[in-house]
Protein backbone atom coordinates (compact mmCIF):
# COMPACT_ATOMS: atom_id res chain seq x y z
CA UNK A 1 0.00 0.00 0.00
CA UNK A 2 2.85 2.34 0.84
CA UNK A 3 4.39 1.76 -2.62
CA UNK A 4 1.22 2.67 -4.41
CA UNK A 5 0.85 5.90 -2.42
CA UNK A 6 4.47 6.81 -3.09
CA UNK A 7 4.22 6.25 -6.85
CA UNK A 8 0.86 7.99 -7.04
CA UNK A 9 2.29 11.05 -5.26
CA UNK A 10 5.46 11.00 -7.40
CA UNK A 11 3.35 10.78 -10.60
CA UNK A 12 1.08 13.62 -9.49
CA UNK A 13 4.10 15.80 -8.63
CA UNK A 14 5.72 15.05 -12.00
CA UNK A 15 2.45 15.89 -13.77
CA UNK A 16 2.13 19.21 -11.94
CA UNK A 17 5.77 20.06 -12.68
CA UNK A 18 5.42 19.18 -16.40
CA UNK A 19 2.17 21.13 -16.70
CA UNK A 20 3.75 24.18 -15.11
CA UNK A 21 6.75 24.00 -17.48
CA UNK A 22 4.53 23.63 -20.55
CA UNK A 23 2.34 26.59 -19.54
CA UNK A 24 5.37 28.82 -18.90
CA UNK A 25 6.80 27.95 -22.34
CA UNK A 26 3.44 28.63 -23.96
CA UNK A 27 3.29 32.05 -22.26
CA UNK A 28 6.75 32.83 -23.66
CA UNK A 29 5.54 32.08 -27.17
CA UNK A 30 2.55 34.43 -27.21
CA UNK A 31 2.78 37.33 -29.69
CA UNK A 32 2.92 39.91 -26.89
CA UNK A 33 5.76 38.11 -25.16
CA UNK A 34 7.70 37.66 -28.39
CA UNK A 35 7.27 41.36 -29.19
CA UNK A 36 8.52 42.33 -25.74
CA UNK A 37 11.53 40.04 -26.08
CA UNK A 38 12.36 41.49 -29.49
CA UNK A 39 12.06 45.04 -28.15
CA UNK A 40 14.35 44.24 -25.23
CA UNK A 41 16.95 42.71 -27.54
CA UNK A 42 16.76 45.74 -29.85
CA UNK A 43 17.31 48.08 -26.91
CA UNK A 44 20.29 46.03 -25.74
CA UNK A 45 21.78 46.08 -29.24
CA UNK A 46 21.26 49.85 -29.43
CA UNK A 47 23.04 50.37 -26.11
CA UNK A 48 25.94 48.18 -27.23
CA UNK A 49 26.18 50.08 -30.53
CA UNK A 50 26.17 53.43 -28.71
CA UNK A 51 28.91 52.24 -26.35
CA UNK A 52 30.94 51.04 -29.34
CA UNK A 53 30.55 54.39 -31.12
CA UNK A 54 31.64 56.27 -28.00
CA UNK A 55 34.68 54.00 -27.64
CA UNK A 56 35.60 54.58 -31.29
CA UNK A 57 35.25 58.34 -30.86
CA UNK A 58 37.43 58.32 -27.73
CA UNK A 59 40.07 56.29 -29.55
CA UNK A 60 39.89 58.62 -32.53
CA UNK A 61 40.41 61.71 -30.38
CA UNK A 62 43.30 60.03 -28.57
CA UNK A 63 44.94 58.97 -31.84
CA UNK A 64 44.50 62.47 -33.34
CA UNK A 65 46.19 63.92 -30.27
CA UNK A 66 49.07 61.44 -30.64
CA UNK A 67 49.48 62.25 -34.32
CA UNK A 68 49.25 65.98 -33.70
CA UNK A 69 51.90 65.70 -31.02
CA UNK A 70 54.15 63.57 -33.24
CA UNK A 71 53.80 66.01 -36.16
CA UNK A 72 54.09 69.10 -34.00
CA UNK A 73 50.62 70.39 -34.84
CA UNK A 74 48.75 72.58 -32.38
CA UNK A 75 45.28 71.82 -33.74
CA UNK A 76 42.37 71.43 -31.32
CA UNK A 77 41.50 67.78 -30.77
CA UNK A 78 38.47 68.14 -28.53
CA UNK A 79 36.10 68.73 -31.43
CA UNK A 80 35.85 72.50 -31.02
CA UNK A 81 36.67 74.83 -33.90
CA UNK A 82 38.82 77.93 -33.51
CA UNK A 83 36.69 81.10 -33.17
CA UNK A 84 37.14 82.35 -36.76
CA UNK A 85 36.26 78.94 -38.21
CA UNK A 86 33.34 78.48 -35.83
CA UNK A 87 31.65 81.74 -36.88
CA UNK A 88 32.28 81.00 -40.56
CA UNK A 89 30.82 77.51 -40.15
CA UNK A 90 27.73 78.92 -38.48
CA UNK A 91 27.25 81.37 -41.35
CA UNK A 92 27.80 78.64 -43.93
CA UNK A 93 30.85 80.14 -45.64
CA UNK A 94 34.61 79.54 -45.61
CA UNK A 95 36.73 81.41 -43.10
CA UNK A 96 38.18 84.66 -44.43
CA UNK A 97 35.42 85.34 -46.97
CA UNK A 98 32.68 87.91 -46.95
CA UNK A 99 28.99 87.22 -46.64
CA UNK A 100 27.29 85.76 -49.71
CA UNK A 101 25.29 88.25 -51.75
CA UNK A 102 27.43 91.23 -50.80
CA UNK A 103 28.04 93.42 -53.82
CA UNK A 104 31.23 95.24 -54.65
CA UNK A 105 30.92 98.38 -56.74
CA UNK A 106 33.45 98.88 -59.49
CA UNK A 107 32.76 101.30 -62.36
CA UNK A 108 28.98 100.89 -62.16
CA UNK A 109 28.92 97.10 -62.14
CA UNK A 110 28.54 94.72 -59.28
CA UNK A 111 30.40 91.55 -58.61
CA UNK A 112 27.21 89.54 -59.00
CA UNK A 113 26.98 90.46 -62.68
CA UNK A 114 24.22 93.04 -62.28
CA UNK A 115 24.63 96.12 -64.50
List, as one string, the DSSP characters of 1-57.
-HHHHHHHHHHHHHHHHHHHHHHHHHHHTSHHHHHHHHHHHHHHHHHHHHHHHHHHH
Q: Does the pLDDT at position 95 exceed 60?
A: no
pTM across the whole model: 0.44
The Cα 90–Cα 80 span in angstroms is: 13
Q: Which residue has the higher pLDDT, 19 or 96?
A: 19
Whether 103 contacts 109, CB under 8 Å = no
pLDDT for residue 115 is more than 90: no
Q: CA 73, CA 5: separation in Å to the nearest integer?
A: 88
Q: What mean pLDDT comes out for the span 64-89?
A: 69
pLDDT(15) > 90? yes
100 vs 49: CA distance, rounded Å:
41
Question: Band of the pLDDT at 114, cuts 50, 70, 90?
Answer: low
* Mean pLDDT calculated for residue range 28-32: 90
Is the model's pLDDT at 75 over the cut of 80?
Answer: no
* Phi and psi torsions of 64, nearest 5°: -65, -40
Q: Return the number of other C-beta atoms located less than 10 Å from residue 104's C-beta.
A: 9
Contact in structure between 100 and 111 (CB atoms under 8 Å): no
Question: Sorting pLDDT into bands at 50, 70 and 90, what band is 72?
Answer: confident
Greater pLDDT, 36 or 87: 36
Measured CA distances, 108 to 2, 48, 94, 99 (Å): 120, 63, 28, 21
- In this prediction, residue 104 carries a pLDDT of 47
pLDDT at 2: 87
Amino acid sequence: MFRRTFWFTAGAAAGVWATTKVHSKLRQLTPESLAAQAANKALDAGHRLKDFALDVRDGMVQREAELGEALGLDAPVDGELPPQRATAALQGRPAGTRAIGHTYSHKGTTRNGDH
